[in-house]
Amino acid sequence: MKRNPQVPAEASQGRATRTLLIISQVYVPDPASVGQHVADVAEEMAHRGWRVVVYTSARGYEDPSTRYPRREIRGGVDVRRLPFSSFGKSSIRARLLGQVLFLAQAMLRGLCLGRVDAVLASTSPPFAGAGGAAISRLRNASLLWWVMDLNPDQLVAAGRISPASPFVRLFDWLNRCTLRRADTVVVLDRFMQERVSAKLDVAKKLRVIPPWPHDDDLASTVGSPLSFRSAHGLEGKFVVMYSGNHSPHNPLDTLLEAAKALEADDGIRFVFIGGGAGKEDVDRMIAAGARNILSLPYQPKNALGATLGAADVHVVSIGDAMVGIIHPCKIYGAMAIGRPILLFGPRSCHAADIMDEETIGWHVSHGDVVETVAAIREARTMTSEERDRVGLRARAVAAERFTKERLLARFCDLIGRNHDDES
């Protein structure tokens, strides 16, 4: 009998099942990448017969004026959204207040939920792992900690806080407590693995699983690359695209300087899609009269294939100090859609590892505007067939190593294994 995806697993089967509690401040339809990946896991576990309960924020992460239903069944998942859990990203104080209030509510409700067999905590908010560890201990449930970025390392690397501050010591202590309690710790690349292992030796329970591209969304998309280009005046232009969160930790300064240097070339357009603090630099250049830059908000998820497919080259960036702290996940979407990549970052990073193995684009150091301009001009002078061959190589690597089906299955198998080991 086919299960109704709008009914929780235990209701469709008429009996109690294992319960997975997920703590994540962001969740679909919020466009944040973390929430989309968490939703993939939640819906897959519901499909496997688990009762899945998600505690998340009732308001948008980027835009707190966006409100979501307080409770709904979404893809077979019981999504419960908590009030006073997001005040936007206008300041560290506002962000921290939302994170603390969210986690306090999620912990209290998690302790009163009823049966809990497994807990999945992401790093949204950064100390969600500690909350998940507390629930796991008090409810005698297994814990999987999904380290999607690493703090306080990120704050220290960005120069926002001293590594010797009491806050950093407290945060690292909480991280070690979470590492001890977790049955499995999932990190995204080998550089993150090294950083986590430096905090506490958890080699026996540490797994490296990169985030997957949303290749199902790329395959079944609303619209087409041609319609996207037509809608935004990009017909006949060579499009260099950056799509995603414009974070200072993924610097775009060198790309913007290259756009300024190439402004006289009317055949090139630089398209920036998404949000984040770094988007202000893009919008300032447009306000100052830049004619070759287009700034757009996040595009609908169901139009992802049309959006990403409209680019001739996709930009991926990771700050030199952020290796092992954040992960350059944009590379997977660019590879899956079959486009060449222009990577900004240090010579030793996860994205560079991929590009060193295959010729799928250009790797430029931050600050090297001359090399950036040369790479863009080289890409533009290639024939469409030559660029297609580069893109096909990228797509082949993605299909071999980074498919959603394979990586999502590996991840969800860990949750089931944790519960079986606990039983």
Percent of the chain surpassing pLDDT 90: 76
Assign 11 a pLDDT band (cuts: 50, 70, 90). very low
- pLDDT, residue 95, reads 81
The answer as to whether 374 is a domain residue is yes
Percent of the chain surpassing pLDDT 70: 92
Helix axes 128-139 and 92-111, enclosed angle (nearest 10): 10
The answer as to whether 1 is a domain residue is no
The answer as to whether 3 is a domain residue is no
Chain segment 196-242, per-residue pLDDT in tens: 999 999 999 999 999 998 766 666 566 789 999 999 999 999 999 99
Indicate if 394 and 331 belong to the same structural domain. Answer: yes
- 320 three-class SS: helix
The CA distance from 306 to 131, in Å, is 39
Residue pair 12/48 in contact by the 8 Å Cβ criterion: no
The answer as to whether 27 is a domain residue is yes
The answer as to whether 28 is a domain residue is yes
Assign 285 a pLDDT band (cuts: 50, 70, 90). very high
CA dihedral sign of residues 349, 146, 415, 216? negative
Within 8 A by CB and 6+ apart from 72, the residues are 79
- pLDDT, residue 61, reads 82
- pLDDT, residue 14, reads 40
Indicate if 119 and 235 belong to the same structural domain. Answer: no
Least confident of 83-87, 163-167, 215-219, 318-322: 215-219
Indicate if 135 and 278 belong to the same structural domain. Answer: no
Is the pLDDT reported for residue 5 higher than 60?
no
Indicate if 70 and 176 belong to the same structural domain. Answer: yes
- pLDDT, residue 418, reads 66
As given in the structure block, the two tokens for residue 100 are 């603390």
Q: In angstroms, what is the C-alpha Rg of the chain?
A: 22
Is the pLDDT reported for residue 10 higher than 60?
no
Pairing status of strand 51-57 against strand 77-82:
parallel
The CA distance from 258 to 7, in Å, is 51
The CA distance from 164 to 4, in Å, is 53
Indicate if 203 and 267 belong to the same structural domain. Answer: no
- pLDDT, residue 422, reads 59
Is the pLDDT reported for residue 281 higher than 70?
yes
Exposure of 287 by Cβ count < 10 A (0-12 exposed, 13-18 middle, 19+ buried)?
exposed
Chain segment 380-423, per-residue pLDDT in tens: 999 999 999 999 999 999 999 999 999 999 999 999 886 666 55
The answer as to whether 2 is a domain residue is no
Indicate if 305 and 416 belong to the same structural domain. Answer: no
Least confident of 130-139, 209-218, 330-339, 406-415: 209-218
The CA distance from 319 to 250, in Å, is 5
Residues spanned by the domain of 323: 215-401
- pLDDT, residue 423, reads 56
- pLDDT, residue 357, reads 85
Mean pLDDT of the chain: 90
- Give the DSSP H or E segment for 341: strand 341-344
Instruction: Select from 321, 220, 314 the least CA-distant residue to 274.
Output: 314
- Give the DSSP H or E segment for 274: none
Indicate if 395 and 409 belong to the same structural domain. Answer: no
Q: Structural domain tally of the chain? A: 2
Stated pTM of the model: 0.87
Indicate if 35 and 97 belong to the same structural domain. Answer: yes
Chain segment 356-383, per-residue pLDDT in tens: 888 899 999 999 999 999 999 999 999 9
Indicate if 309 and 376 belong to the same structural domain. Answer: yes
Indicate if 252 and 395 belong to the same structural domain. Answer: yes
The answer as to whether 368 is a domain residue is yes
The answer as to whether 204 is a domain residue is yes
Chain segment 33-88, per-residue pLDDT in tens: 899 999 999 999 999 999 999 999 999 887 788 899 999 999 999 999 999 888 76
Indicate if 207 and 226 belong to the same structural domain. Answer: no
CATH number assigned to the domain comprising residue 80: 3.40.50.2000
CA atoms within 13 A on the CB side of 293: 25
Helices of type H across 121-224: 128-139, 153-157, 166-181, 190-199, 215-219
Within 8 A by CB and 6+ apart from 302, the residues are 217, 220, 221, 222
Is the pLDDT reported for residue 153 higher than 90?
yes
Indicate if 28 and 86 belong to the same structural domain. Answer: yes
